[in-house]
């Protein structure tokens, strides 16, 4: 299949010249601020979610242009069930329809879709669209897009612990052999690497239970822009900030001691 390149941004903007080895391998995005964006304009909250769709797909195209191989989007959290029934119903249908509406476009650009989250309370139609998109795009290699739907970092860790405990009880794993590497194999998408850049819109500075295990050493960037106003240039800005960070993973270079 011939892969279609991403469309150019309307402004004509091009990716910044970040050295290849300084481009984050995995970017996780908390798409925050849809409700506030709508409130500022006297609109229902759902209008903000609708506008956020184009922001996500512009960011996806920008990630491809920059050469980011993995992108995770927090589409619906395990805590989002606390919202009003009307908003929850809208988000269920909206997530389902976005996947259906954009699946061919993603496939044409060589995007592989993966889904992380609990099936539990999800609408069957949402699960069906997600699994169909996974199957359609499973051989694509341009970018892996992880949709996190009915996802929570703590829930993922608990679910992984339950599966590991079952394997230990069945004798398939020895307790003394459990390491971080072994445990990570029980997470939702173990083949997706740890998060390098954790990006959140709207100015809020918290992780909100997103990819907790995978973000242990992520660089955090919080941009003061509501999600519907986001586009690929904001992603590039965050990646430029990331490229300037000194990632030591707990290590340190000894200080030069002056005589």
- Active-site positions read 32, 80
Question: Which residues have C-beta within 8 Å of that of residue 207, sequence separation ≥ 6?
Answer: 30, 153, 198, 215
Q: Which residues of 82-92 are buried (b: 16+ CB within 10 A; e: fewer)?
A: eeeeebeebbb
Structural tokens at position 119: 């099936």
Distance separating alpha carbons of residues 148 and 96, to the nearest angstrom: 13
Please list the residues that pair with 147 across neighbouring strands: 73, 115
Q: How far is CA 153 from the centre of its chain?
A: 12
Distance separating alpha carbons of residues 42 and 20, to the nearest angstrom: 43
List the strands of the sheet with 197-200, edge to edge: 111-116, 143-151, 70-77, 26-30, 197-200, 219-222
Distance separating alpha carbons of residues 20 and 243, to the nearest angstrom: 10
Q: What are phi and psi of 147, to 5 degrees?
A: -85, 120
């Amino acid at each position: 299949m011939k892969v279609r390149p991403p469309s150019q941004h309307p402004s004509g903007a091009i990716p910044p010249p970040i050295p290849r080895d300084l481009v984050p391998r995995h970017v996780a995005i908390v798409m925050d601020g849809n409700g506030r964006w709508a409130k500022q304009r006297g609109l229902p909250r759902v209008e903000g979610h609708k506008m956020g769709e184009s922001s996500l797909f512009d960011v996806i195209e920008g990630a491809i242009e920059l050469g980011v191989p993995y992108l995770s989007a927090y589409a619906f959290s395990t805590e989002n069930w606390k919202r009003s029934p009307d908003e929850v119903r809208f988000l269920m249908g909206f997530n389902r329809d976005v996947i259906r509406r954009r699946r061919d476009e993603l496939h044409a650009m060589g995007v592989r879709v993966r889904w992380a989250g609990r099936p539990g309370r999800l609408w069957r139609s949402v699960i069906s669209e997600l699994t169909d998109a996974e199957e359609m795009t499973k051989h694509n290699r341009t970018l892996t897009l992880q949709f996190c739907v009915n996802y929570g970092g703590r829930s993922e860790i608990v679910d992984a612990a339950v599966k590991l405990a079952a394997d230990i009880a069945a004798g398939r794993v020895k307790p003394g052999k459990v390491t971080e590497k072994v445990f990570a194999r029980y997470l939702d998408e173990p083949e997706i690497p740890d998060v390098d850049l954790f990006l959140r819109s709207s100015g809020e500075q918290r992780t909100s239970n997103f990819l907790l295990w995978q973000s242990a050493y992520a660089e955090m960037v919080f941009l003061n822009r509501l999600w519907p106003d986001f586009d690929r240039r904001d992603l590039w800005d965050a990646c430029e900030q990331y490229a300037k960070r000194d990632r030591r993973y707990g290590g340190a270079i000894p200080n030069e001691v002056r005589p």
